[in-house]
Structure 1
């Protein structure tokens, strides 16, 4: 059972939720698009239901709420260091199934990948609950059905907009009190997309010949190494560290974790001037093999969730789906 509420009634509940949660959703940012006069759909904190963008894919994923593009790990002086205060509020994220499943992949990397856990990520991740946004027909470059990320049961609340009303299913008992006094008057269960506009053939039998295939050289000539595909990807987790020294006291500063990209020149540089993957073809091979071979070999499922953001944002129109279909 579930609830059918007027938008004003749901906004009242949202106001109550915001006393205990930071609430994030895809929102339209005026004038922030890649081209002059265009808008950007990305994640931001919301106050009202009307701010949420349901009919467009967000350019960037929900991962940046927990795994931030730039994050201060600690402050330091000559004699000591101190970690920044941790936000005490819990987090609610409006997200589609692919982005919810992407967090499962990030959990494998930051929390479940050996004896050491990333405490910064884990502290924030433990505060997160998801509000499920359904996909109808998906978007032109999505292939979530092929990767099995079109469905999820990891959500606290299902929200479905319908002609001036909001239909809700409350799955998490912690959120149930926010709906006290309301009658459960509808039957509602999640609707998951069953067929994408395009379904790629995922690689099944990758062997050593693939690593030496001439197909990678195509990307040496095409890819510009801008790294956009990594930065919009909901499962890319690479980062670098930067020490920032303050001008007024060069012995004090902060250490920051900053998103990095395996497709950008210099990512694989090592001490002594050594470097791996010196051209874009080798970098493309590394990225694709990580998404569809290495991660799958370790955890039993593909790292890629088929959101299609990388295809959509590439300035050279490089398609990961066309690439992986050549691997079998």
Structure 2
């Protein structure tokens, strides 16, 4: 079931939803971009429908509610431990199809990747429902079609996209139909792109010989190890733990989970001063093969969803999508050599 809404009708829908949900959506932040006097689109809690950015691609991913860059997990004293409080009100997260596919990758890593689900992630995950933002066009650096994440058939309670001066919403979850009382019933299906400007090829299998391939050497000189590609990625899940002590005796404080980045110095440091993958080329190899090989072996699908944010964010103009094609070419050539 779908609805056509005027701008005023959509505002009334958001006002009605606010009574029951916190709303977390992409927001245009004017003048706060990475360079002087540039804008950026990033996620935040919103109070008005007009704050929700539906036209521009978000520079950062939705995941900062589920996995904040820095999150206090628990507080401890000498004889007590208390889990940190989180919002107890349900949350609606507005996201595009590629990011909705990324949710499944997050679930795989935190809920299905071991003998028990990550309790701290799960309690946030249980609060969340998703709103799909329809995509009428492909954005710069997107390659979602190649990764199969351009379309979502389920997993959302309703969709929304601009339609002239108004809005079009598909509402598959009947429990949300009452929120659209200001709309006109219509047959609506979410828009999705069928072709990107850039196509990516990913090998079905990656042979071990690719680990020593010369293609990685280029990135030892080009990559500066800033980690931007990791922090904007909706499927990167690595973190480190930090204990913050309030007193010198070390018995009162808090434990934090802090986002980590495989492209940054120190990620592979071990006791005794050892460090694996010292060069940026080795780190790039790890990141790329984890996205298109390691994750697939464990969970059956590529970790990368083709949002292209890593390409958008890189200050050295390193294209991850180009790397994937280079890897595929190298794999195909290795296969020819074997023959």
TM-score band by shorter chain is over 0.9
What SS does structure 1 have at the residue aligned with 2:185?
A: coil
TM-aligned CA deviation for residue 250 of structure 1: 5.5
Q: Distance in 1 between matches of 2:79 and 2:2?
A: 57
Deviation at 1:140, TM superposition (A): 1.8
Match of 2:300 in 1: 300
* TM-score, reference length from structure 2: 0.93
Distance in 2 separating the partners of 1:191 and 1:167: 10
Deviation of 1:147 after TM superposition, in Å, equals 0.7
Q: Deviations over 1:39-79 (max 9, x none)?
A: 22100111222212222211100011111111001011122
Give 4+ residue runs of structure 1 displaced > 6 Å after superposition. none
Who is 1:154 aligned against? 155
In the other structure, the counterpart of 1:6 is 6
Checking the alignment, whether the CA contact within 8 Å between 1:71 and 1:258 is kept in structure 2 is yes
TM-score (norm 1): 0.96
* Residue-by-residue CA offset, 1:199-258 (whole Å, 9 max, x unaligned): 112223421111110111111111100000000000000000111122698642111000
Give 1:88 deviation, angstroms.
1.2
What is the CA-CA distance between 1:279 and the residue it aligns to?
0.9
**In 2, Cα distance between the equivalents of 1:253 and 1:26?**
34
Within-5 A mapping of 1:125-140: 125-140=125-140
**Mapped partners of 2:173, 2:249: distance in 1:** 49
The 5-angstrom pairing of residues 256-275 of structure 1 reads 256-275=256-275
Report what 1:94 is aligned to.
94
What does 1:178-327 align with in structure 2 at a 5 Å threshold?
178-180=179-181, 184-246=184-246, 251-327=251-327
Count of aligned positions: 327
Partner of 1:177: 178
1:273 Cα offset (Å): 1.6
SS at match of 1:273: coil
Gaps of 5+ in 1: none
1:79 equivalent in structure 2: 79
Of 304-313 and 73-82, deviating more is 73-82
Is residue 3–residue 186 contact of structure 1 (8 Å, CA) maintained in 2?
yes
Shift of 1:35: 1.2
Q: CA deviation at 1:114?
A: 2.1
What CA distance in whole angstroms lies between the structure 2 residues aligned with 1:13 and 1:86?
A: 26
